[in-house]
Chain A
Amino acid sequence: EAGVTQFPSHSVIEKGQTVTLRCDPISGHDNLYWYRRVMGKEIKFLLHFVKESKQDESGMPNNRFLAERTGGTYSTLKVQPAELEDSGVYFCASSQGGWNEQFFGPGTRLTVL
């Protein structure tokens, strides 16, 4: 069974540009989460989808970040415009039920120059 996949694995962009990260959860998992680790700090929660609905977006840092999950399958996280402080590793995770263990993807390393 395929795990959570993320694309791209690494993205290097200039400040002010736009980047879109993609996450494909494990098939059948209704719950999808985004987390990130920036500047060597702890991994921080960004938001939680249940199917296509945003269940909890309390961790989204500001309105430069837009997450979508149209159709309740894969999700995208767009950063527009990117700032230097957005550099870090963005993780996606999915779970069958909200209370189940979360399966994490390998992450996308974002570098903003």
Chain B
Amino acid sequence: DAKTTQPNSMESNEEEPVHLPCNHSTISGTDYIHWYRQLPSQGPEYVIHGLTSNVNNRMASLAIAEDRKSSTLILHRATLRDAAVYYCILRDEGGGTYKYIFGTGTRLKVLA
């Protein structure tokens, strides 16, 4: 079972920042926090990942709480192309297995 909890859906206006929350209260020390998104009719696409420190890349930023029990994916300026289902996934990278366990994700709707 997925070890994360996300809101089912969120809405954002175009060109505004979006903060997508994720709760993972049972996170272990070897769990990395990964975010993927799935655009309509496509496979999931990597967005960002982190362990303890906040992370930035060209797509988004990841803010991780100090106790690591929650995290937030930040899209700095949402565009219509960002409308997708966003998945927050914990992956245990201490045990040699690299599978992803997907939850239901957050469906992001971007309004023009």
The one of B43, B98, B102 that contacts A4, using a Cβ cutoff of 8 Å: B43
Report B-chain residues with C-beta under 8 Å of the C-beta of A44. Answer: 102
**A17-55 Cβ-contact flags toward B at 8 Å (1 or 0):** 000000000000001010100000011110010000001
Report A-chain residues with C-beta under 8 Å of the C-beta of B42. Answer: 104, 106-107
Tell me, rounded to whole Å, the shortest Cβ–Cβ distance linking A42 to chain B. 5
* Contact present for A59 and B2 (CB under 8 Å): no
Tell me, rounded to whole Å, the shortest Cβ–Cβ distance linking A101 to chain B. 4
Is the CB of A105 closer than 8 A to any CB of chain B?
yes
Given A91-B44, A106-B41: A42 touches B99 (CB 8 Å cut-off): no
Residue tally, chain A, CB below 8 Å to B:
25
> Do most interface residues of chain B lie in helix, strand or loop, or is the interface mixed?
loop
**B86-100 Cβ-contact flags toward A at 8 Å (1 or 0):** 000000010011111
Given A42-B2, A99-B93, A101-B49: A91 touches B101 (CB 8 Å cut-off): no
* Contact present for B43 and A93 (CB under 8 Å): yes
Is the CB of B104 closer than 8 A to any CB of chain A?
yes
Question: Which size bracket describes the interface of B in this complex?
Answer: 10 to 19
* Contact present for A43 and B97 (CB under 8 Å): no
Please measure, in the bound complex, the distance between the C-alpha atom of A106 and the C-alpha atom of B44, giving whole angstroms: 8
- Please give me the residue from chain B that is nearest to A9 by CB atom: B41
Tell me, rounded to whole Å, the shortest Cβ–Cβ distance linking A77 to chain B. 15
Given A42-B2, A42-B104: A105 touches B43 (CB 8 Å cut-off): yes
Binding site for B on A (CB under 8 A): 4, 31, 33, 35, 42-45, 48, 55-56, 58-59, 91, 93, 95, 98-99, 101-107
Please measure, in the bound complex, the distance between the C-alpha atom of A42 and the C-alpha atom of B102, giving whole angstroms: 6
* Contact present for B97 and A56 (CB under 8 Å): yes
Given A42-B104, A99-B93: A91 touches B43 (CB 8 Å cut-off): yes
Tell me, rounded to whole Å, the shortest Cβ–Cβ distance linking B23 to chain A. 17
Tell me, rounded to whole Å, the shortest Cβ–Cβ distance linking B27 to chain A. 17
